[in-house]
Structure 1
């Protein structure tokens, strides 16, 4: 489990407890890797207090806030598992859905390297739902990634395949398209979504729109320029 977090002091302990309940000890080998992305509240102190009680918990801290994509990549690089599950640190993703993603992986062909959560019933404000709907429609039309929801933090992917992707800020919003560009298949899996009950959102619709357009054009360029010919070793 890789959980990027920024100023979520009130969400850390409840979410860790939920993760432990969804991945019970003794039935699965796992680690919970929290990446504190330069928090300025008591997030780090809460994590250290939990560490004494939760041996599966690992903590990495960015000295400055670098963004969600950088935090996810830091966590994936430090992780020791072959498969990585991610979820947001705000508590809106339901850790119980991890098992659903794993079940979908186990019955899928090996060329499927990414299982993306699909929030079929968003628990956000009307303006945020509208903005996401517009952004997903535009992205889908331009990138043709056949993914209804790329903004969901709940994902399961193969670590090696992820680390082979080009890294850039906000790349986490384009993982299905980037995986497909690399020659892999992806799948969308319906997951639960919950309203935020503690803390405050770190994004607004204008910020997402301004960076999203330039990122979208950049990913479209990457896809257009991709060349991955088949190769075989002859001796």
Structure 2
């Protein structure tokens, strides 16, 4: 168990928030939330925050019903769709726990894999551990999507040298304070390993499962993802080159601490 930090009176367990971005996920969101609550019996889950990113189906109604039953569930509502990165950012800002885990709202990320991502933050975690990223094994997507993703990951890895074979996996856990110090931009969620490393944080990887989509449809096309990704890749590469190596956020946040405090 992590020490609570220099300003805490007792070594209480580090609290964990789980955030879920959702846009038109009426077919899957209830199962995802219930799966998170079930998985949360294996770690100190204190809050679940779902961002309803301008859904036009019954996602909002389903979330309201779930929130009425579960006091740990908070729903953040975007009046219009702002994108996955914006939905994640809104939920992380609303969270109060020092460790945050995230997964997609479409049901393809198994909630039972959450404990594997969170465990490194709870058991003698080094002060510089910033991110634990899931890497999908046995992806349950179409062949065209797997091929496009594989090409994009190889190109990204060659340019960014982030040591991540699957940056598109929605399952991740990280320090909330470190995340909120990252440069924010649309689609940033695809580049979290590189951005955390840029700021001096240690990044670990864990193999996780993958499921077929439970309903609805993907919000991305291969062409759309590729065009946006090419522009983002150039921008992230520039951000990494521009980092001055005197003091990083990891130096400032992790210095003199044993890890996330309660």
Normalising by structure 1, what TM-score? 0.95
Query: In the alignment, is the contact (CA less than 8 A) between 1:113 and 1:158 conserved in 2?
Result: yes
Query: In the alignment, is the contact (CA less than 8 A) between 1:114 and 1:176 conserved in 2?
Result: yes
Gap runs ≥5 in structure 1:
none
Query: In the alignment, is the contact (CA less than 8 A) between 1:148 and 1:188 conserved in 2?
Result: no
2:245 matched to 1:225? no
Match of 1:65 in 2: 81
Q: Distance in 2 between matches of 1:192 and 1:77?
A: 27
CA RMSD of aligned residues (A): 1.7
User: Would you say how many aligned residue pairs link Structure 1 and Structure 2?
Assistant: 232
Map 1:10-29; keep pairs closer than 5 Å: 10-24=27-41, 28-29=44-45
Match of 2:255 in 1: none
Q: Distance in 1 between matches of 2:134 and 2:124?
A: 16
1:52 alignment partner, SS class: helix
Gap runs ≥5 in structure 2:
1-17, 253-262
Q: Distance in 2 between matches of 1:115 and 1:50?
A: 28
2:106 matched to 1:90? yes
Q: Distance in 2 between matches of 1:133 and 1:229?
A: 35
2:223 is aligned, of 206, 213, 229, to 206
Deviation at 1:108, TM superposition (A): 4.5
Runs of 4+ in 1 over 4 A off after TM superposition: none
Query: In the alignment, is the contact (CA less than 8 A) between 2:101 and 2:118 conserved in 1?
Result: no
Match of 1:55 in 2: 71
1:119 is aligned, of 124, 127, 136, to 136
Deviation at 1:107, TM superposition (A): 5.2
- Residues 46-105 of structure 1 show CA distances to partners (whole Å, capped at 9, x for unaligned) of 110111111111001011100000000000011010010000000000111111112233
1:141 alignment partner, SS class: helix
